[in-house]
Amino acid sequence: MTFSAPENYLQQRQQAQQSPAEFWQQQAANIAWSKPPTTILQQDAHGHGSWFADGELNSCDLALDVHLRNGRGEQLALIYDSPVTGQVQRFTYQQLHHEVATFAGALQNLGVGKGDRVVIYMPMIPQAAIAMLAVARLGAVHSVVFGGFSAHELAIRIDDATPKVVVSASCGIEISRVIAYKPLLDEALSLASHKVAHTVIFQRPQQLAEMITPRDIDWLSCQGAATAVDCTPVLATDPLYILYTSGTTGKPKGVVRDNGGHAVALRYSMSAIYDCQPGDVFWAASDVGWVVGHSYIVYAPLFAGCTTVLYEGKPVFTPDASAFWRVCAEHQVKILFAAPTAFRAIRKEDPEAQLQRYDLSKLKYIFMAGERLDPATFHWVQDTIGKPVIDHWWQTETGWPISANPAGLGLMGAKAGSSTVAVPGFNVAILDEAGQVITDHSQGYIALQLPLPPGCLSTIWGNHERFVDGYLRTFPGYYASGDGGYLDADNYVFVMGRTDDVINVAGHRLSTGEMEQIVAAHPAVAECCVIGIHEAIKGQQPLALVLLKNGVDIDEATLEAELVAMVRHDIGALACFKRAILVKRLPKTRSGKILRKLLRQIAAGESYTVPSTIDDPACLPEISEIMAKNQLIAP
């Protein structure tokens, strides 16, 4: 296996490092500006940059209108696949343009204009993407709130974003359960200090919402009474959207994405990272409420003239573990992008993946992100599906990948557990506590040298000081990612987890992510999580919480002994790995991330708040009982 980088990648990385303004000016030439920029990069006192400051454009124009001008209006733009309703709907670029332009007219009739905010609280239906693009068409700012959030969490975001209008739907559908959205929205509006003049509600036949006049307006009625409107040009530095992400203080952070840098970066990523060309079918199996849905369900595929898949379903139970393969075969998907959690769920329910039922000849790559891809899952997917698996790492804050195996610049040899190399434009460094660069390939804090490339967050909505304090002050001259890891001798990036997932055992800093990959490699293990728990003498010791694969019969003591031996073999006795317990479920967010902080709080005997993002709150008392039974809760 060779780990040498392709020449095309090396040339682009070098140019982006040495002459970032020149490199990104070249990439900016690939999008249609209303007014091309002459000022490419401006840096502030911290070294943080703003890109294309005097350029003007419109993100909806780049996603839709430009393709109509180029004679490609009859190409498929969006495929809506909903196994929970049994519906498949297809939109050409011409049809999607009509829906967006007329809904933009409806919002304009409600007083929405350039710079105004619109909160979107929607399930995974085409109207969610239509609303996002319509807001962008007006030069306004959308803030999509994940449909699973509680009324309290929605109210917090309404108060922070102060929208003129909220767009929602009557209900969402989770496998076989209908969730009424309107009562949640009504409660949020009553809780919020900011008063919203109007809501627009898309009525779904599965459950109709009770409307409150004159505040609530039916989507079809207001769209039907509107006329299509043209795009409003905005400055490249004007905000396109606000997307809230968790903060260490408990108050969500409103990540602000600009228009120009976002468009240039995503357009570049589609060719350089994902190897996508106009007409290719791209499927990001995520939700529009998360950054993946913003970047790679709605904007990037449409910027690139691709066909995007919007999927209302799950990897399992809609109807079974072959759901992903059906979608790929039926819609001739070239790129599948999903979280490792999805594939672990498929593996647990159906190790054979029912592949014999579907033709996956069009599928070229499987990309994974959103959480650490453990080597066991990496090897299982690659061996079972027979397609290149590309782990890549990025954050809500960056908006596009920091490190990846760049398929469009030439694939490199993959290393399980690594997201391969830094994408051109991102300069990754590993720093110690003092902010000095670590050069011996040991673990430290992953930081990105400033300026960040286009497409990354420009600030925190309404609180620039929080942006500076949270990301730029820790290591002057760098963006602090909050993740820990290392670079190996080939400059491959290994992200081992959040820096608060590092445990200290008798003075040794150990990554729980490293232990998780060893535990997950056991043939009986479907999924696992390793946390640090109190140990009287050494300070902390690791504890593994393990889910078994379906149909596996193994004694807990036997499994624990085998896992202890595996960790001792791969890491050494200094890991002090001695305990592994079986659990039925792990606490996760609805996007599939394990809530490790909650597990640490339970083990520490601390009080905790159940977050609104949790998928299955009932698992918490179960885990607490198991820990207590095994005397694993700190006194």
Per-residue pLDDT band for 395 (boundaries 50, 70, 90) equals very high
- Strands (E) in 232-317, as ranges, are 234-235, 239-245, 253-258, 281-284, 307-311
Per-residue pLDDT band for 112 (boundaries 50, 70, 90) equals very high
CATH 3.40.50.12780 in the chain: give the residue spans. 7-313+392-486
Please report the sign of the dihedral spanned by the C-alpha atoms of residue 85, residue 90, residue 95, residue 96.
positive
Neighbouring residues of 244: CB distance < 8 A, sequence distance ≥ 6: 143, 145, 157, 160, 252, 253, 254, 255
Q: What's residue 449's pLDDT?
A: 97
- The Cα-based distances of 100 to 103, 124, 309, 479, 605 in angstroms read 5, 16, 17, 36, 51
For 220, which DSSP code?
A: H
Question: What is the distance between the alpha carbons of residues 281 and 75, in angstroms, rounded to a whole number?
Answer: 11
Residue 116: closest CA among 143, 141, 144: 141
SS3 assignment, position 179? strand
Mean pLDDT of the chain: 93
What DSSP assignment string belongs to 388-436? -EEE-B--TTTSS-SEE--GGG------TT---EEPTT--EEEE-TTSP
Per-residue pLDDT band for 121 (boundaries 50, 70, 90) equals very high
622 φ/ψ angles, rounded to the nearest 5 degrees: -60, -45
Mean pLDDT, rounded, for 107-136: 98
Cα 633 from chain centre: 33
pTM for this structure? 0.86
Q: Are 446 and 487 in contact (CB under 8 A)?
A: no
Mean pLDDT, rounded, for 509-518: 81
Neighbour tally for 601: CB within 10 Å = 17
SS3 assignment, position 383? helix
207 φ/ψ angles, rounded to the nearest 5 degrees: -165, 115
Per-residue pLDDT band for 499 (boundaries 50, 70, 90) equals confident
pLDDT at 110 over 80: yes
176 φ/ψ angles, rounded to the nearest 5 degrees: -120, 15
Q: In terms of pLDDT, which residue wins out, 372 or 78? A: 78
Phi-psi region of 124 (alpha: psi -120 to 50; beta: other; left: phi over 0): beta
CATH 3.30.300.30 in the chain: give the residue spans. 506-629
Q: What's residue 607's pLDDT?
A: 87
pLDDT digits over 531-562, tens only?
999 887 677 899 999 999 999 999 999 999 99
Q: Are 23 and 12 in contact (CB under 8 A)?
A: yes
For 195, which DSSP code?
A: P
Tokens 């601390």 correspond to 606
What are the start-end ranges of the H helices in 149-259? 151-161, 182-191, 219-224
Per-residue pLDDT band for 591 (boundaries 50, 70, 90) equals confident
Residue 173: closest CA among 211, 213, 205, 132: 205
pLDDT at 507 over 90: no
pLDDT at 156 over 60: yes
* CATH superfamily placement of domain 506-629: ANL, C-terminal domain (3.30.300.30)
- Compute the CA torsion angle 619, 625, 631, 635 (nearest 10 deg): 90
Q: Are 428 and 21 in contact (CB under 8 A)?
A: no
Question: What is the distance between the alpha carbons of residues 615 and 345, in angstroms, rounded to a whole number?
Answer: 14
Mean pLDDT, rounded, for 262-287: 97
Domain 7-313+392-486, second-level architecture: 3-Layer(aba) Sandwich (3.40)
For residue 440, give both structure tokens: 């011996």
Q: In terms of pLDDT, which residue wins out, 606 or 478? A: 478
Question: What is the distance between the alpha carbons of residues 2 and 413, in angstroms, rounded to a whole number?
Answer: 6
Residue 185: closest CA among 222, 212, 206: 212
Q: Which of 83-97, 104-118, 316-330, 345-359 has the lowest mean pLDDT?
A: 345-359
Question: What is the distance between the alpha carbons of residues 512 and 542, in angstroms, rounded to a whole number?
Answer: 7
pLDDT digits over 293-316, tens only?
999 999 999 999 999 999 999 999
pLDDT digits over 215-264, tens only?
999 999 999 999 999 999 999 999 999 999 865 545 778 999 999 999 99
Q: What's residue 247's pLDDT?
A: 58
Per-residue pLDDT band for 514 (boundaries 50, 70, 90) equals confident
Tokens 């699973």 correspond to 148
For 470, which DSSP code?
A: I
For 437, which DSSP code?
A: B
Q: Are 309 and 341 in contact (CB under 8 A)?
A: no
Q: Are 244 and 255 in contact (CB under 8 A)?
A: yes
Q: Which of 90-99, 277-286, 336-345 has the lowest mean pLDDT?
A: 336-345
Q: What's residue 509's pLDDT?
A: 61
pLDDT at 78 over 70: yes
Question: What is the distance between the alpha carbons of residues 388 and 585, in angstroms, rounded to a whole number?
Answer: 30
Q: What's residue 353's pLDDT?
A: 55
What are the start-end ranges of the H helices in 417-538? 464-467, 512-520
How many Cα atoms sit within 13 Å of 80 on the Cβ side?
18
pLDDT digits over 10-30, tens only?
999 999 999 999 999 999 999
Question: What is the distance between the alpha carbons of residues 140 and 259, in angstroms, rounded to a whole number?
Answer: 11
Q: Which of 106-115, 133-142, 347-356, 384-393 has the lowest mean pLDDT?
A: 347-356
Question: What is the distance between the alpha carbons of residues 477 and 479, in angstroms, rounded to a whole number?
Answer: 7
Q: What's residue 148's pLDDT?
A: 74
pLDDT over 90 for what percent of the chain? 77
Q: Are 21 and 422 in contact (CB under 8 A)?
A: no
